[in-house]
Amino acid sequence: MDLKRLFKPESLAVIGVSLTNDGHPANVVYNKNYLRHQLHVYAVNSRGGSIRGERVYRKIADIPQMIDLALIAVKAELVPSVMIECIEAKVKGAVVVSGGFAETGAGKLQDELVSIAKEAQFPFIGPNCLGVFAPPYIDTFFIPSERMVRPDNGRVAMVSQSGGVLADQMVKCAAEGVGLSVAVSIGNKAFVKEMDILRYFAEDPDTDVITFYVEGFGRNEGSDFVLAAAECRKPVIVLKAGKTPGGLKAVTSHTASMAGDYQVFSDVMAQKGIVEATDEFELVSFAEALSCYPKSIQGRVGIITGSGGHGVLCADACFSHGLTVPVFKEQVQKELTEMLSPAIRGIVSCSNPIDLTGSSGDDDFITAATYLSRNPDVDCIIMLLLPYLPGVTMDLGARLGLVYQQEGKPLIAYVPHVEKYRMLVEGFNFNNMPVAHSVEDAVHMAEAMKRNRRC
């Protein structure tokens, strides 16, 4: 199946628009794409009429242009006949946002839909989903524009069985500065499944990292997915729901998936070097780190801080997450100390963590970062930046970005995420370097790089 037109269509037919209710999901999708996206949009309703001064077609076959993608938002029992009409009109794919299929016990109706699609090799996402968010191409999310939180364009593809979880992840991505290439809500994933989407994004030139929120799989789908993820040249991150007896029951009622044995699934992912996130916060942190640094590391961390307490917290977190914090030899410590500002040489500690103290300034952080970037005993640097230190300026992020560009060793920054320090954070973002909102989050990012063993 060719999935390209699901994610990068040039024309869209919205089937099921209401002539009386502009808040109908189909109308929300039509209006968003008509006003904000670079594709031809057509409205379809069996009664005909007009919307926004444009003709509403009675059938998709009446539209004079060939259609790449159909958004189907009609009653569940009407979806099979509508899909047949799409196939006869040579539409290239569909998003079925309508609910009322296997998740409500109507498995036979969903099976009928799948049978129609299989015979015609007609790719569709859903049913019971939000569909695809991929600016500037398409947005089938029936969330009003004023309520949408849109992350910046970027290189991370997010795929989720749950539309609500996906929308929430997008809020977190926007807050953390994680850019998306596409977000896909697959709902019941009756026909196009995670493995199909994985294979598509594995070859997509606009995507570097692929994340999945998974509730469950059909029979044998889990093992096939893991094998496909293990073969993918790009980092793959998975957040699995349904880990507990209560979660297993909730999964079945949500998307009618089989949750399976979580522990077996988790163990196999670890063996194959697929990065598993334990919660939605890790998922976003891991995506940010691996979109910047897709190559694996051994996990030997050098810590640079202006606060001894922050350094201790970071070291503890590193060891608890399977990372190491090597203590530097006396000669290394002495050499680095002599390179620092004369005012702090007598009070710094360079054993690792490197505590530059609250009297340090930009030049000391630059010196320490450059030195560790050339140290073969360290393969990742965590920089704990406290912007309220008197000697630290808002230019430090950009200056450290130059260090990374010149030396090439991964550097993760911790900076409090508040508006006052935005300029400092932007200096890192501009140089494609991840910025954590907590010390623990910075360690999570390093952990993701260690666990991503396939690249």
Query: In the predicted model, is pLDDT for residue 248 greater than 70?
Result: no
Which pLDDT value is given to residue 254? 46
Q: Among 142, 138, 184, which residue's Cα sits nearest to residue 161?
A: 184
- How far apart are alpha carbons 425 and 160 in whole angstroms? 29
Please state, as a whole number, how many other Cβ atoms lie within 10 Å of the Cβ of residue 416: 15
Query: In the predicted model, is pLDDT for residue 273 greater than 70?
Result: yes
Handedness of CA 447, 266, 161, 6 (dihedral sign): positive
Helices (H), 340-395: 362-373
Query: In the predicted model, is pLDDT for residue 455 greater than 50?
Result: no
- How far apart are alpha carbons 408 and 390 in whole angstroms? 29
Which pLDDT value is given to residue 260? 59
Percent of the chain at pLDDT exceeding 90:
86
pLDDT (tens digit, 9 = 90+) per residue, 217-229?
888 888 889 999 9
pLDDT (tens digit, 9 = 90+) per residue, 130-167?
999 998 999 999 999 899 999 999 999 999 999 999 99
pLDDT (tens digit, 9 = 90+) per residue, 25-52?
999 999 999 988 889 999 999 999 999 8
pLDDT (tens digit, 9 = 90+) per residue, 51-72?
989 999 999 999 999 999 999 9
Max Cα distance, the chain (Å): 83
Which pLDDT value is given to residue 419? 86
- How far apart are alpha carbons 217 and 221 in whole angstroms? 6
Instruction: For the chain, give percent helix, strand, coil, nearest 5.
Output: 45, 20, 40
- Model confidence band, residue 244 (pLDDT cutoffs 50, 70, 90): low
Average pLDDT of the residues of the chain: 93
Query: In the predicted model, is pLDDT for residue 453 greater than 80?
Result: no
- Model confidence band, residue 261 (pLDDT cutoffs 50, 70, 90): confident
- Model confidence band, residue 245 (pLDDT cutoffs 50, 70, 90): low
169 Cβ neighbours under 8 A, 6+ residues apart: 158, 160, 183, 213, 280, 283, 284
Query: In the predicted model, is pLDDT for residue 405 greater than 60?
Result: yes
User: Domains, the chain, ranges and CATH?
Assistant: 1-128 (3.40.50.720), 149-292 (3.40.50.261), 296-451 (3.40.50.261)
pLDDT (tens digit, 9 = 90+) per residue, 349-361?
999 999 999 999 9
Query: In the predicted model, is pLDDT for residue 259 greater than 80?
Result: no
Query: In the predicted model, is pLDDT for residue 253 greater than 50?
Result: no
Q: Are 395 and 426 in contact (CB under 8 A)?
A: no
- How far apart are alpha carbons 171 and 178 in whole angstroms? 10
- How far apart are alpha carbons 82 and 69 in whole angstroms? 13
254 Cβ neighbours under 8 A, 6+ residues apart: 103, 161, 162, 215
Q: Are 352 and 328 in contact (CB under 8 A)?
A: yes
Which pLDDT value is given to residue 243? 74
Supply the DSSP string of 78-98, one letter for each residue: GHHHHHHHHHHTT---EEE--
Query: In the predicted model, is pLDDT for residue 256 greater than 70?
Result: no
Mean pLDDT of 237-262: 64
- How far apart are alpha carbons 308 and 15 in whole angstroms? 61
Mean pLDDT of 368-388: 96
- Amino acid code (one letter) for 189: K
**Total number of residues shown for the chain:** 455
- How far apart are alpha carbons 66 and 78 in whole angstroms? 22
153-160 and 180-185 strand pairing:
parallel
Please state, as a whole number, how many other Cβ atoms lie within 10 Å of the Cβ of residue 234: 22
- How far apart are alpha carbons 231 and 251 in whole angstroms? 27
Which pLDDT value is given to residue 247? 47
Query: In the predicted model, is pLDDT for residue 401 greater than 50?
Result: yes
Which pLDDT value is given to residue 219? 83
Mean pLDDT of 98-103: 96
